[in-house]
Structure 1
Amino acid sequence: MINIRNFDINDVAITWNIKFNTIRTINRQDYTVEQTKRWAPEHYDMNLWRKRITDMNPFIAELDGNIVGFADLQDDGYIDHFFCHSEYQGAGVGRALMEHILSVGASKGISRFYSQVSLTARCFYEHFGFHVVKEQQVAIADGKLTNFVMQKIT
């Protein structure tokens, strides 16, 4: 059973590793090697990540004691990060995280959920009732990549 809990400062390194490995393996099906290297650089300042992930305060998904994903929900309904471990794709991790986000959002009175969604995650978000507001090219390092602003109104 997948357990969802709140972020702890000890989760900093594993969340970066999940993000890095998911982008470099799973997102590689929709983006070039160069784009994934810019999106998830080999050498990233862990102090910057610690601040970013702490400010984001994500939910952590665990399965059999292992951290297998994370996702956040900001007070305005924005989902900044949503990553499932590359080795646990299709195991219900994303579903558990999204259901938790939508439930927490409902309890906070959030009626609009939105995110900048990768090509890879678009179908997943659509499955949960999100629709594309616009396609965009976003700057990342010295390049660009395509993603979608998606939203769900409840």
Structure 2
Amino acid sequence: MIEAPRLLGQGYHWQDLAVGQRFRTFRRTVTEADLMGFVALTGMQEPLFVDATWDGALGARPVPGALTHALIEGMVLAGMAHGTGLALLETTIRPMAPVRVGDTIGAEVVVAAIRPTSAGGRAVVTSAIAVTNQREERVMDYTAVRLLAGRG
């Protein structure tokens, strides 16, 4: 019998991960369209997000921390848990510096803990994620606790 080829883009099963294992995402530039789409979707109509002439305490054109988190989570999931992620159980977000339209962000992911569940061949996997901008300045730290599928 011929073995089926591995699915391209398939995330890791929890058994493929180890505490201390590190990953790096691709980097992505935050665009005006990202900001306006996110503001329209969430209703975050704050002047600092929608008024290009606003120059508040964070300076010009910051984006919501929730947008930074969402963009990075998309990259993390696409590379680490696509098709194997069953649930996001918890996340703790710590913004550290503003991300602005035109900034390029990426992240390093470290597997912090793996706890197999008692049923279903699944595990709770905790990751520590450090987000940086194009100058390698840390702009956000967060943890993500996910339920990941196992093999078979």
The TM-score, its normalising length taken from structure 2, stands at 0.26
Q: Which has the higher contact order (CA 8 A, sep 6+)?
A: 2
Answer 1 or 2: which has greater helix percent.
1
Quick check: which has more Rg, 1 or 2? 2
The TM-score, its normalising length taken from structure 1, stands at 0.25
